[in-house]
Chain A
């Protein structure tokens, strides 16, 4: 398994654990007597699962197992693939911190950081599509 796939999959597993813990806190708010502000983490919870875990696991496995791009560049552009990993995780981590803060403390004016998070994740998605497209082919 290439090193980048290991990074994608291990990062995905960490998000999975984090999402499960966050989901437990959100669902168990009453029993655990947590403040209602915990609900500000609900969109983050869904995105940790779908972007952090599911999509990132797919990216890691696809980078590893999809048909080779060419003999010279079997997995497409390695630099682009690393950039996807970094941008996706930077964007998601930024969202994890900024979105709940923005919802609970709007006076902090952190909207620009959320825009940056959106841009980073979008770029990661586009980079993955570009790098993967040519590897989706018949034998």
Chain B
């Protein structure tokens, strides 16, 4: 497993923990109401699970498992993938902050940064979607 995948999968696991914790709090609050303020955690919960956990895990595993290039660098432009990892997590944290504090500017900034992360991974992974040995 390449180092970037280790970082992405472990970060995804942390988001899984955060997302499940927020989700458990929301569900418990639905069963035995503690505070209406807990509902502010709904969108951070969704963001942590959708982007932080699922999306990040898929990208990290794709970086590991897609066919490698026969010559070095065998994983392609690794710096671009690292940039994508940093941008993705910056974006997720910005969106979570934006949703929690009801700041549209922060959420928008986060979505833009996430968009850049998607573009970085698309460019990085595109040439590796090919037949084995090519």
Contact = CB atoms under 8 A, between A and B. Distances in A.
Contacts of B3: 138
A114 B53 CA distance: 24
Given A111-B31, A136-B13, A58 B1 contact: no
Given A58-B57, A132-B13, A137 B24 contact: no
Interface string B48-73: 01100110010000000000000000
B111 interface: no
Interface of B: 1-3, 5-6, 9-10, 13-14, 16-17, 20-21, 23-25, 27-28, 30-33, 49-50, 53-54, 57
A115 B17 contact: no
Contact of A122 (B14, B24, B30, B50): B24
A125 B17 contact: yes
Interface in A108-139: 110-115, 117-119, 121-122, 125-126, 128-129, 132-133, 136-139
Nearest to B8: A136
A43 B76 CA distance: 41
A136 B28 CA distance: 31
Contact of A115 (B5, B9, B32): B32
A50 interface: yes
B24 A121 contact: yes
Interface of A: 50, 54-55, 58, 66-67, 95, 98-99, 102, 110-115, 117-119, 121-122, 125-126, 128-129, 132-133, 136-139
Give chain A's interface secondary structure class.
Answer: helix
B123 to A, nearest CB: 24
A137 B6 CA distance: 6
A117 B116 CA distance: 38
Contacts of B2: 138
Given A119-B24, A136-B1, A138-B6, A125 B31 contact: no
A133 B17 contact: no
A126 B31 contact: no
Contacts of A102: 30-31
A125 B16 contact: yes
A114 B27 contact: yes
